Amino acid sequence: MNIHSRVDGQAEKKEQILEAALEAFADRGFHGTTVPAIAERAGVAAGTLYRYFESKEAIVNALYQHWKRTFAGALMVDFPAGAPPREQFRSLWERLCRFAEAHPLALQFLELHHHAPYLDETSRRIDDTVLGPARAFLAAAQRQMAVKPLPPDLLIALVHGAFVGVLRAARDGLIQLGKDTTDAAESCLWEAIRR
């Protein structure tokens, strides 16, 4: 009715669209998803998408940026900066798993598709938001002789890759994601990188 509720209504609709797009893109990728399909899932008309986003590419970039930032935030907020490396790693892994549980589609979207061809400048730059803190953690842990003195990006690739591998196996029904499983995985991966 008033400006406020209109704005809220709009924000809400934008959320619906992004949520619908996330589901669709997570499942079939960017090129495998049609705009009408997103609109239908979102419960709006196809034309309405274009009041909120310039184009299909704009939607995928908005999603990418939103979830990369949310993901990075989830990893960093209240990170136990002073704790010993073993503790920090456990904490990081736990955050990864919690995020995976809370936003499974977001991770499927972010990690299980190759986005480069349609990402814009902003999206491409955002990767460092996640990488930076991870590198910082490893550098510190290496300085404390707690982690193998290998290139941080290699260690990140191993741990991050293993995490994605677990997600994929869960999506394909090969394993169940439970506390046992994720704890065991964490233990393995700490062995992998610890000095």
Residues that bind DNA (CB under 7 A): 1, 5-6, 9-10, 13, 33-36, 44-52, 54-57
SS3 track for 32-94? CCCHHHHHHHHCCCHHHHHHHCCCHHHHHHHHHHHHHHHHHHHHHCCCCCCCCHHHHHHHHHH
> 34 or 144, CB closer to DNA?
34
> 5 or 122, CB closer to DNA?
5
**Least spacing, CB of residue 65 vs a second copy, in Å:** 18
The entry of a second copy, DNA, none that residue 51 binds, CB within 5 to 8 Å by partner kind = DNA
> 28 or 80, CB closer to a second copy?
28
> 16 or 160, CB closer to a second copy?
160
CA distance 130 to 117: 20
**Footprint of a second copy on residues 138-167 (CB under 8 A)?**
148, 150-151, 153-166
Is residue 171 helix, strand or coil? helix
Burial of 14 (0-12, 13-18, 19+ CB in 10 A): middle
Contacts with a second copy, residue ranges (CB under 8 A): 27-32, 112-114, 117, 148, 150-151, 153-166, 168-169, 174-175, 181, 184-185, 188-189, 191-194
